[in-house]
Amino acid sequence: MPHALVILLITAASVGFFHTLFGPDHYVPFIVMAQARRWSMKKTTLVTLLCGVGHVGSSIVLGLIGVAMGIAVTKLEVAEGFRGNLAAWALIAFGLVYFVWGLRRALRNRPHTHSHVHQNGSAHDHPHVHTTQHAHVHTETGKQNITPWVLFTIFVLGPCEPLIPILMYPAAKENVWGMVLVAAVFASVTISTMLGVVVVSTFGVNLLPLRRLERYTHALAGATICLCGLSIQFLGL
């Protein structure tokens, strides 16, 4: 294997790891949604994997099309930048809508009491919540939860900006296998990092005493995702 290609593969692995680790949008949405939607670890892992494949795969496809058509890297970066803005705003919108829905749900789900008077004259107050008692019924009727597919769509739109320049070097050398190796290493490291952070963080969050915040988990998840999108759009994270 040529020395230059070895260096490029190490670069692809390093960039994939740090780009993912320092980009909260790669894992925060899955961590907070897993808590809010009470996903199992298996479902959380599956959704993260699916979104990771869509996220990296869309950039690989765009990069390979650009290479095949001889499109300049600057034009590809413009296209990736447009996709990035679209994905960031989609993340902001999704988080904001989910926050409003979650807050409304939390306020409607405020515990209240009913007084019960028995025939013997004794009385007691009975804590009661309406929405949670009916929520489980709706989830059991087979209603399709579109949240994972919304996240998947956003992640397909979201680009892997560092991938295009890395792909261009072996393309310039007309090394097809080099491009395939670079794309495979970048994709595997990026997706593995996403899965690792999500699994470890989800497991850790599950150990925290969050019982008092349980009613607000949807609102908090939406707010967190919205802030994540804002940080990407305006802080360049």
pLDDT in tens, 145-179: 778 889 999 998 888 877 777 776 676 666 778 88
**Residue segments in the chain with a per-residue pLDDT below the cut of 50:** 112, 114, 128, 130-143
pLDDT at site 112:
46
Tell me if 59 sits within 8 A of 164, measured CB to CB.
Answer: yes
CA angle 8, 12, 16 (to 5 degrees): 170
pLDDT at site 134:
40
pLDDT at site 114:
46
Q: The pTM is what?
A: 0.79
Q: What's the CA gap between 198 and 30, in Å, rounded?
A: 7
pLDDT at site 136:
39
CA 163 to chain centre: 19
What does the pLDDT look like over 187-196, one tens digit per residue?
Answer: 999 999 999 9
